[in-house]
Amino acid sequence: MNRPMKQPPDESGKTTFEPARPTVEPASLADGRGEIAGLLTHEDLDRARDRWEVARARRDERTHRPFSGLRLLWLLVGPGILVFLGENDAPSMLSYSATGSRFGVGFFIPFVVLTFLMGFVVQEMTVRLGAITHRGHAELIFDRFGRFWGFFSMADLVLGNFLTLVTEFIGVRAGLSFFGISPVIAVGSALLGVAAAIMTGRYWTWERITLGLALFNCLFVPAALLAHPAWREVGHALIHWTPLPHGRRSDILLLILADIGATVTPWMLFFQQSAVVDKGMQPRDINAGRFDTLVGTVLAAVFGIAAILATVPLFRHGIGAKDFQAAQFAQALEPRIGHVGAALFALGIFEAGIVAAVAISTSSAYAFGEVLHTGHSLNRPLREAWPFYSILLGSACLAAGLVLIPHAPLEFIILTVNVIAVLAMPPALAFLLLLVNDREVMGDYANGPLANFAGITVTVLLVAAGLWYGLATVFPRLLGG
């Protein structure tokens, strides 16, 4: 794979990089036409084909051929939309739903918009890191900060990813239970979906399939429209940010952290940077990567707010919806927004879970492959990168099995996982900021003052949220819990 070559540590103990050189590896794989067989791997050939299509689209754009700009954009988008719609996962949409059903619009609509702005700030940095270094996030941390911090970040990622994977299958189970489908069949179908998506042996095909599934996150929009939102109230909330709602401070704080964790999580850093590398994006593609990330941010924000609006009728009628295992949200919504609206909501939860299960398990597999220096590309066939695919499928299977345990506290798991994501984010952000400010790695693409201000602000806000939660847990009376 084309990537900067790692050099031995210099006198300062840092690993340095030199520009990427063509990788030539022995292989017996042909490209279907017998060209340059024996010189390049399957991964190299597939990525070269993708880059050739990008080069052709750029040439067409320079000659002003019709729709060439749109075609170029179509070829380059993907990781940014996927990472945000993947993060609009089952626990995230259920957190938004809990927000709407308990506290209505008010404080939380503009707050969710703020969390997505934070997410864009963070994810834009991963686009630059991946396009400049051609290395995944886990690999860069190991190379620049050593084995101790590398394993520390890996532990942070693996724990968070596994817990989140469990919640994705909870969402799958909850969504399909609305239609009377048994938990075993629901979870089994999700596992088959994960396996089918990765068995293409082609990053481009995997990305387009997963993107197609991710766009069904829009099912929350018609569900919200069927709830007949008070648009004047929504507009007022966006323009005049109202104070915190009345209620137990501990409940409000839990939802604040859960909504932050629904937008900014460690797996997103690892996934998008590795996907940018697997896609073969170059420095000249960074602006397209930013646009891709912005589109993902806007779409995910709209769909997340739609989940809040869809459940506001429960708030207005004083209905609590706490039993996620029995798809209580969809069942409770049915008398308020009709069977069609409730069915769309349940299908949205199912879709959110299955897309995120694909993305998050892939994130874990990328990180393990990078650290263990084994094949870690979706362009590699199963026989060449079996450890990568084993980790991907194995983590999904184990998480799915835990969801089938009877009487598990599913609501508590969902909200707690999002809170854990917030508490785990500051160390991940610290590594990210150090990397994007390292001019030996980034050169002229290192963070400027404005990017650093935005990144540090996000980090400080996340640390403050974590400290607030810690104080509220230890001293509930002090903070009015």
Cα(52)–Cα(59) distance, rounded to whole angstroms?
11
User: SS3 of 53, please?
Assistant: helix
CA 106, distance to chain mean position in Å, is 27
Q: Which amino acid is at 274?
A: S
pLDDT for res 298: 95
Contact call for residues 90 and 351 (beta carbons, < 8 A) = no
Distance CA 349, CA 170 (A): 10
- pLDDT of 32 reads 42
Q: In the chain, which segments carry CATH 1.20.1740.10? A: 81-474
Give the CATH number of domain 81-474. 1.20.1740.10
Neighbours of 469 (CB within 10 A): 19
CA distances from residue 296 to 30, 78, 182, 199, 363 in whole angstroms, order as listed: 36, 9, 33, 25, 18
Per residue of the chain (481 residues), give pLDDT as tens.
444 445 544 444 455 554 444 333 333 334 444 444 445 666 777 777 888 888 888 888 888 888 888 888 888 889 999 999 988 888 788 888 888 877 778 788 888 899 999 999 999 999 999 999 988 888 888 888 888 888 888 777 877 788 888 888 888 888 888 888 888 898 888 888 888 877 777 888 888 888 888 889 999 999 999 988 888 888 888 887 777 766 666 667 777 877 887 788 888 888 899 899 988 899 999 999 999 999 999 999 999 999 889 888 876 655 554 544 444 677 778 888 888 988 998 899 888 888 888 888 888 888 877 777 777 777 777 777 778 888 888 888 888 887 777 766 666 666 667 667 667 778 888 889 999 999 888 888 999 899 899 888 888 888 787 777 666 666 656 555 5
Q: List residues bridging with 21 in a β-sheet.
A: 3
CB 427 within 8 A of CB 152: yes
Sequence-ordered list of residues with C-beta below 8 angstroms from that of 259, at least 6 positions apart, any chain: 95, 96, 99, 108, 111, 112, 115, 418
Compute the distance between CA of residue 294 and CA of residue 298 in angstroms, rounded to an integer. 6
pLDDT of residue 12: 44
Q: Could you identify the residue written with the tokens 């941010």?
A: 297
Residue 312, pLDDT score: 83
pLDDT digits (tens, 9 = 90+) for 370-428: 777 777 777 777 777 778 888 888 888 888 887 777 766 666 666 667 667 667 778 88
* Model pLDDT for residues 415-434, shown as the tens digit of each residue: 667 667 667 778 888 889 99
Please tell me the distance from the alpha carbon of residue 360 to that of residue 362, in angstroms, as a whole number: 5
pLDDT of residue 108: 83
Q: What is the pLDDT of residue 480?
A: 55
Q: Is 20 helix (H, G, I), strand (E, B) or coil?
A: strand
What pLDDT score does 26 carry?
A: 36
pLDDT attached to residue 424: 74
Closest CA to 356 of 190, 208, 156: 190
User: Is the separation of the CB atoms in 342 and 253 below 8 Å?
Assistant: no
What DSSP line would sit under 197-255, residue for residue? HHTTS-HHHHHHHHHHHHGGGGGHHHHHHHT---HHHHHHHHHS---PPSS-HHHHHHH
This prediction's pTM: 0.82
The distance in angstroms from the start CA to the end CA of the chain is 54
